[in-house]
Amino acid sequence: MTDSRRSAQLKALVWSFAGVAGLTVLWLLLAPYVVPDLVLKAYQDRYPNPQRMILWHGVFGCVAIWAGGWLVWWSVRNRILDRLIPAASPQQLGGVRAVVCSVLLINTLWEDLASTVYLPKEMQLPLGVIKILQPLPIGFEQLLDSYAALSALKYFTAGFLLLGCLGFATRLVIPLAALGYLLVGGILREYSHGFHTNLLPLQLLIVLAFLPCGDGLSIDRQIRHAQGKAVASNANPRSGYGWSVFICWTVIAMAYFAAGLSKLRTGGWMWWHHENMQTYLFQSSLNPMHFDFRISLALREAPDFVFAALGLGGLLIELFYPLVLFSRMARIVFPALALGLHIGIFFLQNILFLDLMLLQIVFWPWTGLFARLPKPFAFRHREFQAEADVSAMRSHPGSIRKRILGTITVSAIVCVSMFVWAMDCEFYPASAWGMFKFRNSSGVLTYHKPLVFYSNGDVEEAKFDRWIGAMADTRYRQMLEVKRHPELAQKFFEANIKRANSTDPKGRTVDHFEIQTWRWDFRREPQSSTYGKLVDSIIYPVPDSGPELESPVRFTPHGEK
Lowest mean pLDDT of 5-19, 360-374, 511-525, name the range.
5-19
DSSP state at residue 238:
B
**Tens digits of residue pLDDT in 114-141:** 999 999 988 888 888 888 888 778 788 8
- In a 13 Å sphere around the CA of 209, the CA atoms on its Cβ side amount to 17
Output the pLDDT for position 178: 96
The share of the chain scoring above pLDDT 90, in percent, equals: 38
pLDDT class for 9, splitting at 50, 70, 90? low
Q: How would you class 400 by CB atoms within 10 Å of its CB: exposed for 0-12, middle for 13-18, buried for 19 or more? A: exposed
Q: Supply the pTM of this predicted model.
A: 0.83
pLDDT at 137 (0 to 100):
81
- Of the pLDDT bands very low, low, confident and very high (cuts 50, 70, 90), residue 105 is very high
Distance (Å, whole) CA 232 – CA 514: 62
Span 239-275, pLDDT tens digits: 678 888 999 999 999 999 999 989 988 888 899 999 9
Distance, CA of 27 to CA of 186 (rounded, Å)? 33
pLDDT value at position 361?
Answer: 93
pLDDT one-digit tens code per residue, 139-198: 888 898 999 999 999 999 999 999 999 999 999 999 999 999 999 999 999 998 888 999
pLDDT, average across residues 352-371 = 81
The two most distant CA atoms of the chain are separated, in Å, by 91
Rounded Cα–Cα distance for residues 500 and 467 (Å): 6
The CA distance from 422 to 520, in Å, is 35
Best-predicted range by mean pLDDT (315-329, 372-386, 422-436): 315-329
- Select from 529, 550, 526 the least CA-distant residue to 538: 550
Give the pLDDT mean for 9-30.
62
Task: Go through 518-546 and write b for each residue having 16 or more CB atoms within 10 A of its CB, e for each that does not.
Answer: bebebeeeeeeeebbebeebbbbeeeeee
Count of CB atoms situated within 10 Å of the CB of 315: 18
| HEC assignment per residue over 440-503 | CCCCEEEEEEEEEEECCCCEEECCHHHCCHHHCCCCCHHHHCCCCCHHHHHHHHHHHHHHHHHH
